[in-house]
Structure 1
Amino acid sequence: MLSVDNLTRHFGRTAAVDRVSFSVERPAFIGIIGRSGAGKSTLLRMLNRLTDATAGEIRFEGRNVLALKGAAKRAWQSDCAMIFQQFNLVPRLDVVSNVLHGTLNRRSALATVFNLYPRADIYRAIDILDRLGIAEQAAKRAEALSGGQQQRVAIARALMQDPKIILADEPIASLDPMNAQVVMDALRRIHEEDGRMVIANLHTLDTARRYCDRVIGMRAGRMVFDGRPEQLTTGVARDIYGADASFSEQATSTSIEALDRVARAAMAETELI
């Protein structure tokens, strides 16, 4: 379905993404991990065509994605929906209107200016919100919702595009563990029930192991790991993150259980001092 070949992006003399190649033969849930500055976000932005590539090729179902222009490029961006860490909602608009923004690429300029939506689209938006467990928030302003609820609104907006691929750039980085789990459960369920490909940049190993079918590790712009979650050992993680033997997975975990263990260990250490 998706083929990435020697994809490269330079910013000046720096290679943010350096000759990355991989292929995906069927819809899968893929996690991309690596430290800040590894090139994860730039890679997703090139897949979505928000950032141009310096070199390389992206093909989806035989189409040369990097050659698309105008309406064809906009159609690709509908097929390849993007979810951002900071949600990118319109705070003062109600939740349903934010979800309906997922249809902007296929609406006329006049309809966009006057905020006119077909009744079928409104019903569909509410159905998607119901699927994500937040239909009761439909009439509220987006700014009144919690972070986890706002991220589910962003997922609903992406689903309104009816995409073939969902790209999620650090979708849980700003969320507490409980909301992080709710959001990741929603993405995994969408993958399994809809058969959609999901590619998510993630910052914790436990999340990658729990939710992903395949994990790609990046370091300094290069792909240094590509394998199954169970192959992501602590030793492999140290290599991906460029860490020494003091590297601790628990310190970066998003699971409530792991955070409890870290807190208990810290309390015990304090009592010994």
Structure 2
Amino acid sequence: MLHINALTKRFGDKAAVDAASFQVDKPMMIGIIGASGAGKSTLLRMLNRLTPASEGSVEFEGRDVLGLKGRDKRNWQSQCAMIFQQFNLVPRMDVVANVLHGTLNRHSTVRTLFNLYPEADIHRAIDILERLGIAENAAKRAEALSGGQQQRVAIARALMQDPKIILADEPIASLDPMNAVIVMDALRRIHEEDGRMVIANLHTLDTARRYCDRVIGMRQGRIVFDGTPDQLTTGVARDIYGAGADFSEEATSTAIEQPQKPLPESLQLA
């Protein structure tokens, strides 16, 4: 499905992403981990075409993603929806209108300016909000919601695009542990129930192990690990984060209670 080959982004002499290569042959949930500045966000932004690549290639279902322009590029950005750490909602606009923004690529400028959406789209937006457990907030301004609720609105907006891939850039970094569970549960259900590929940048090892089928580790712009959650041992984590023997996973933990999958003893710190 998705083939990434030697994808590189340079800012001056520095390579934020350095020859990243991996391929995904079926829909799965993938976590990308690494220290701040490892290149995780830049990688996702290149996949979505928000940031131009310096070198390399991205192919999805045999199509050259980096060569797309105009309408074809906008269509790709609809198929490859992006969720951000800071939600990127319109604060003074109601929740339903924010969700309906996921259809902007399908409607004229006039319709968008006057918030004229087809009734079918409005019903679909409410159905998605219901699925995410926040339909009762549909008429509220986005700014009136909690952070966890706002992130679910952002997920609903992404689902309105009916994407094949959802890219989530640190979706729980600004949330408390309880809301982090709710958001990650939602992303996992979307992958399992809809068959959509989800690629999420994560700052916590415990979250990556519990929710992801595959984990990619980045360090200084390069991919240094690509494997299953069970292969993400403490020693591997030290290499990814460039840490010494005093490295503690507690520094990257959300302290989420009641994990979905208990950690094997081999992955727990003494």
Instruction: Summarize the alignment of residues 1-273 of structure 1 with structure 2, pairs less than 5 Å apart.
Output: 1-257=1-257
Cα distance in 2, alignment partners of residues 162 and 251 from structure 1: 36
Task: State the 1:255 CA deviation.
Answer: 2.5
Q: Deviations over 1:27-78 (max 9, x none)?
A: 0000000000000000000000000000000000000000000000000000
Task: State the 1:251 CA deviation.
Answer: 2.7
Cα distance in 2, alignment partners of residues 72 and 257 from structure 1: 43
Task: State the 1:126 CA deviation.
Answer: 0.2
Task: State the 1:246 CA deviation.
Answer: 1.0
Return the TM-score normalized by structure 2. Answer: 0.95
Q: Deviations over 1:72-112 (max 9, x none)?
A: 00000000000000000000000000000000011111111
| Local SS of the residue matching 2:50 | coil
| Local SS of the residue matching 2:22 | strand
| Local SS of the residue matching 1:67 | coil
Unaligned runs of 5+ in 2: 259-270
Q: Deviations over 1:241-263 (max 9, x none)?
A: 000111111232113349xxxxx
| Local SS of the residue matching 1:126 | helix
Cα distance in 1, alignment partners of residues 169 and 81 from structure 2: 11
- 1:59 partner letter: E
| Local SS of the residue matching 1:186 | helix
| Local SS of the residue matching 1:216 | strand
Q: After the TM superposition, which parts of structure 1 deviate over 6 Å for at least 4 consecutive aligned residues? A: none
| Local SS of the residue matching 1:143 | helix
- Asked whether the equivalents of residues 181 and 256 of structure 2 are also in contact (C-alpha less than 8 Å), the reply is no
Cα distance in 1, alignment partners of residues 257 and 110 from structure 2: 51
Cα distance in 1, alignment partners of residues 192 and 255 from structure 2: 22
Cα distance in 1, alignment partners of residues 169 and 257 from structure 2: 24
Cα distance in 2, alignment partners of residues 257 and 74 from structure 1: 40
Cα distance in 2, alignment partners of residues 46 and 106 from structure 1: 23
- 2:153 partner letter: V
- 1:34 partner letter: G
- 1:54 partner letter: S
Cα distance in 2, alignment partners of residues 255 and 210 from structure 1: 12
What's 1:267 paired with? none
- 1:53 partner letter: A
- 2:94 partner letter: D
Q: Deviations over 1:179-201 (max 9, x none)?
A: 00000000000000000000000
Cα distance in 2, alignment partners of residues 247 and 218 from structure 1: 17
Go from structure 1 to structure 2 and tell me whether the alpha carbon gap of 1:257 and 1:121 turns closer, same or farther (over 3 Å shift): closer
Whichever of the two has the greater Rg, that structure is 1
Cα distance in 1, alignment partners of residues 107 and 165 from structure 2: 21
Cα distance in 2, alignment partners of residues 14 and 24 from structure 1: 27
Identity %: 81
Number of residue equivalences:
258
Cα distance in 2, alignment partners of residues 173 and 125 from structure 1: 26
Return the TM-score normalized by structure 1. Answer: 0.94
Higher share of residues assigned helix: 1
- Asked whether the equivalents of residues 104 and 112 of structure 2 are also in contact (C-alpha less than 8 Å), the reply is yes
| Local SS of the residue matching 1:66 | coil
